[in-house]
Structures are given as C-alpha cells and as structure tokens.
Amino acid sequence: MSKKKEVKFCLMFRDMWQSAGKYVPRVNQLLKVAPSIVKMGCFTRVETNGGGFEQVNLLFGENPNKAVREWTKPFHEAGIQTQLLDRGLNGLRMSPVPADVRKLFYKVKKAQGTDIARTFCGLNDTRNIIPSIGYAKEGGMISQCSLCITFSPIHTVEYYTNMAFELIEAGADEICLKDMAGIGRPVSLGKIVKNIKEKYPEIPIQYHSHAGPGFSMASILEVCKAGCDFVDVGMEPLSWGTGHADLLAVQAMLKDAGFDVPEINMEGYMETRSLIQEMMDDFLGYYIPSRNRLMNSLLIAPGLPGGMMGSLMTDLETNLESINKYKAKNGQPAMTQDQLLIKLFNEVSFVWPKMGYPCLVTPFSQYVKNMALMNVMQIEKGKERWSIIADDIWDMMLGKAGKLPGKLDKELIAKAKEQGREFHNEDPQSNYPDALDTFRKEMEDNKWELGSDEEELFELAMHPQQYRAYKSGQAKADFEADLAKRKADSVNCNGSLSLPQTVTVDVNGEKFAVTIGANNGKDDSATTTVSAAPGEGTALISPLEGKFYLVKNASDVPVKVGDFVKKGQTICYIEAMKTFNAIAAEFDGVITEISLSIGAPVSEDDVLMKIKA
C-alpha cells in the first residue's frame, strides 16, 4: 500500500489581517493569541511578519523590532517555523532598497527569530530575487523564492516553469506559488507544480492563494495532487472574502482526497477564533470594510490581490468623497461606491496591458490600481486619462525597478519621451546605492540607539519617514486621532455625539491637539493643527488627497521658505495610495509659506505653499 502524500499547513496570520483591512494587531494582542495558535497543533509554519507589518507597528507608535522578537518566540519554543514576506528589491516597503540595507535585513530578521524569507518580485524579474537568496543564506535564513502568479497571454505554464528552474539553479531552498489575487487557473497551477517536482523532487513547494475570485479550493486540490508540500490557510473570522481559504474546509477536503493532513485541536481553534474577534471588536474592525468579507468573481478580470483589497476599500472612501465634492460643485449627481468600484475594475483591465503586464502584487498592483483610480478620478472631473502619473509608476514603466513582462503602450512611450524621461535596462539594484552610513550618521546625530544587531538602524533605513514619525510621537498621535474619529463617527451614526470636536492625544508626555471634523461636505480627515505665518503670493493647491511631504527620499534636499523655485520644478509630494505624487511649481518665484507640516493629511484643494512671483 502506497504511503499517503503529506501536506502541511501554514497560518497566514499577518496576511489575514492585511487582506481584510488596513492594520494588524498590536504586540500585546499578538502575544495573547500565540498560545492558542500553538494549541491548535496543526501548523508547521506561521507567517508572523513582513510586508506592511513593521510599518503598521510604526504607525501605532510601537517598536516593530520588539514586536517581531516577542511574537516569534512562542512559535520557536513550540517547534513551529516562522516566515516573513520579502519584496526583494523593495525589502519590506513599497520602494527599492539599497543593497547594504537588504543585506542587513536578513541578518536582523534571523536574529529576531524569523526562519524563512519568502522573496518575490512583482515583475518576476529574477535579477531582483537572486541576490536575496545569497543574503538570506548568509543571514542563516531559509530562502523561499516566489513565482508571482497572474493570468495573461504572457504568464504561461512554460513561463513559470522556466522561472522556477532558474531560481532553483541559483540556490533557492524552496519555491512558492504566490497566487496573490487567487486568479491562477487550477489546472495550470497543477501543471507548474508537476513540472517543478519532476525535475527537482526534493525542493519543497508552498502554495499561497486568496479566496476572493473563487478558484482557491480547486487550485489547492490541484497543486496538492501535483506534489505541493505546504498550503497557506486562513481561519475564521478572517478567512474567505479577500482573505484565504479556511483551515477547516481545506483540511476536510484534503483528508477526503487521501492526503495525510494534521488534525486540528478544536478547543485551540475556537480560542483563537474568539481572540481574533476580540481584536476586531477592540479597534481593528474599524479598518475592515464589510465588503472585504465577501467573495466576488468580479475580481477575476482586474486580478487585484487580496492583500491590496484590504486597504483598497478603506481608501476608496476618501476617493469617493473627492469625486463627489467635485460633482456637487458642478451640479452633477453623486457617485455610489459600487459605481466607483466598477469603473475602477474596468479601468484596471484597460491600463494593465498598456503598462506592460506587471504582476498585480505589491507594489506594482498598487501602481496599476493607483493609475487606474487616478484616471477614473481625472476623467470624472473632466480631465484627461494619464494626466497625473506618480514618479514611482514612471520608474516601473521605464524599467528602473526591473524589466516589464510585456511591452509598454506606444502612447505611454511617447509621453515619456515628451517629458524627457529615460528608459532603463541595467541591473535595478545599481540605481539604488548603499546608504547605511548616511542613516547611521543620522542616528548618531539624534543620539538614537542602533539597537541589538543594529535593528534600529535597519528600521530607520528601511522605513525612514515612518521611523522618524514614530520617534517624534507624531505617528501615534495621528493613529490615535484617526481611531478616535472612526469611533466618534460610529457613535454619531446613532445620534449620540456631536462633531466636530478636538481631542488631545498624549504621546510619551507630549500632547498633540487633534481636530476631528464632522462629515459635513468639508474635509473630515483627522488633522494635527499646524500654525504658520501667512505669506504673500499665490497659493499652490493640492490636486489630490493624501499626506504632505517635502521630499521623497532621505537624501533629497527639501525646499524652504525663501527659496527661489522655477516653473516645473518639483517642490513637494503628496503621498496617496502608497505612491508619491510630485507637485511642481506653476511659475517662477520665491516660496513665502509652507502651509503644512511633514506627514500632515491633505485634502484636494488645500493650500500646500504660497509662492510670490
């Protein structure tokens, strides 16, 4: 009698939250739920961190290094491996990372207790993945390399098979089929796994899929039949929808199909389920749109990933408000969220091939979605498609972050040439020189501790803007203000609280006064009051909503009051939907006022600066 094929489970705890909403639990909540996850007894692996996890810690005002060390510890003690999601050239963030920061990344994460680095590139450019194989091994981690699965005329079974072979021959310990949007077709996925196992039977294969479009259960069965070793799962109340297939259903299906799967301690399951619900009831539920709890086959066409859908529905609230403000001013009927969503999905399907078929995974899924949404917003306001293209999106289309899988549309090529933009074919890493010494000096100047294994240095270098806001206390103040607003709005729906109001947030003894606005047709985002002397001249108006920054990179020199600027010169940025949109001076002149603080929320039509010609 032949031995049953063993299939092991990985709980995607980080991704469960990211795919549902905007935030992940605080460290005290993570430590509370860890024993119950261990008690379930069915997991060989748990995804503990990576991706947006550490940025979220910083936004909470928490130290992410402390969070990772404490969170991974109980799993190690139970013999369960921990893994993180690594964006290759981008490390843990949306934008490319210098090589020396990438090298430090793996050393720090291994020291903190993370065993496996799941590395991917949203362009499937192996030049961005292969260096991480060496860095991970030097740091003592297992290198798992990902095939970012999508569905297009370019992304064939042969395409993915050859990519897997190249990564294995470059030293990858494991392969992951990262079906981040859940749109991989089951039979094709099975063929990819079969091809890999026939040539490299000893290489472990892990399958990751989101449930949203509806293929995931069939895909899990197909890849397991073909020889898959690990399956990523979620659990209630965060499974299905834009999240992952539920552990209970996957286990029952595979058991019936004759696979050797672990048993589940249901007492531990119910404890974990209850604690997750408790976290949602505490505050995380305010950031989980109800629509993300639903599966929707409309997601098949745009192919947007589950991890992005978590924040998308929250962000759409702001974008919808911006569109409707314009419509109200111009006597047009308001748009509903459903109408905006359908327009967005249609625009994604339209722009994706024109932008060269980048895999719809972080950060490129955000770039394609942001481009589509910006187009929709501009068209709804009577402007032209492609009228605002963020620098990060240009970098992707021009090849600075890696080679596009497909060809860029002629219209975009012509637009790039009109603007004097250069196309790239060099190794992407060469565009981002080493920078640790600069960040080390900044820490020394501020008398900040480098941290155990230089983990604080790493955090600053990986997330400069968020880390500085964390150290100043502004990050915690902004988060607490936003949470207070959402709670107030929830109460106000029942008619028991009057808005606007001002709340005072205490962060390490420093008080931040925050005004919470009512939804009265004006901007109702949480803002920290900023005082500035009024300047002469013409106001530079924000063309979109987001957060205000003077520079995009730490090495850039910000403009200041008194500086002379020329027409067309980039003088600040609006960070919206995780991309930095350059704002240029509209004429030659002197800056007489910078109207906002760094990181301050901005509404469309807000004054950013004043410039005197």
Helix, coil or strand: residue 270? helix
Residue indicated by tokens 């200041």 = 560
Please tell me the predicted confidence (pLDDT) of residue 279. Answer: 95
Element (H, E) at 82: strand 81-86
Per-residue pLDDT band for 382 (boundaries 50, 70, 90) equals confident
Summarised one tens digit per residue, pLDDT across range 226-251 is 999 999 999 999 999 889 999 999 99
Closest CA to 295 of 234, 254, 370, 348: 234
Identity of residue 373: L
User: 196 versus 314: which is more confidently predicted?
Assistant: 196
Query: d(Cα 260, Cα 6) in Å, to the nearest integer?
Result: 4
Query: d(Cα 270, Cα 494) in Å, to the nearest integer?
Result: 32
Query: d(Cα 357, Cα 373) in Å, to the nearest integer?
Result: 17
Note whether 175 and 144 are within 8 A (CB). Answer: yes
Please tell me the predicted confidence (pLDDT) of residue 1. Answer: 44
Query: What tokens does 173 get?
Result: 């310990």
- Orientation of helix 364-380 relative to helix 306-329, angle to 10°: 20
Task: Identify the CATH number of the domain defined by range 532-612.
Answer: 2.40.50.100
The mean pLDDT of 592-607, rounded to a whole number, is 87
User: 137 versus 552: which is more confidently predicted?
Assistant: 137
Note whether 459 and 65 are within 8 A (CB). Answer: yes
Note whether 140 and 112 are within 8 A (CB). Answer: no
User: 554 versus 427: which is more confidently predicted?
Assistant: 427
Element (H, E) at 14: helix 13-20
Note whether 319 and 337 are within 8 A (CB). Answer: no
In Å, the largest CA–CA distance within the chain is: 87
Query: d(Cα 290, Cα 525) in Å, to the nearest integer?
Result: 21
Query: d(Cα 433, Cα 412) in Å, to the nearest integer?
Result: 28
Residue 210 makes CB contacts below 8 A (sequence gap 6+) with 19, 179, 180, 181, 182, 216, 242, 243, 244, 305, 306, 307
Would the pTM count as exceeding 0.85? no
Summarised one tens digit per residue, pLDDT across range 49-105 is 998 888 888 888 889 999 999 999 999 999 999 999 999 999 998 889 999 999 999
Closest CA to 461 of 49, 4, 105: 105
C-alpha triplet 159, 391, 570: angle, nearest 5°: 170
Domain borders along the chain are 297-430, 473-529, 532-612
Please tell me the predicted confidence (pLDDT) of residue 576. Answer: 79
Question: What does pLDDT average to over the chain?
Answer: 87
Task: Please report, in angstroms and rounded to a whole number, the separation of the first and last CA atoms in the chain.
Answer: 86
Per-residue pLDDT band for 497 (boundaries 50, 70, 90) equals very low
Query: d(Cα 339, Cα 332) in Å, to the nearest integer?
Result: 14
Summarised one tens digit per residue, pLDDT across range 287-296 is 888 777 777 7
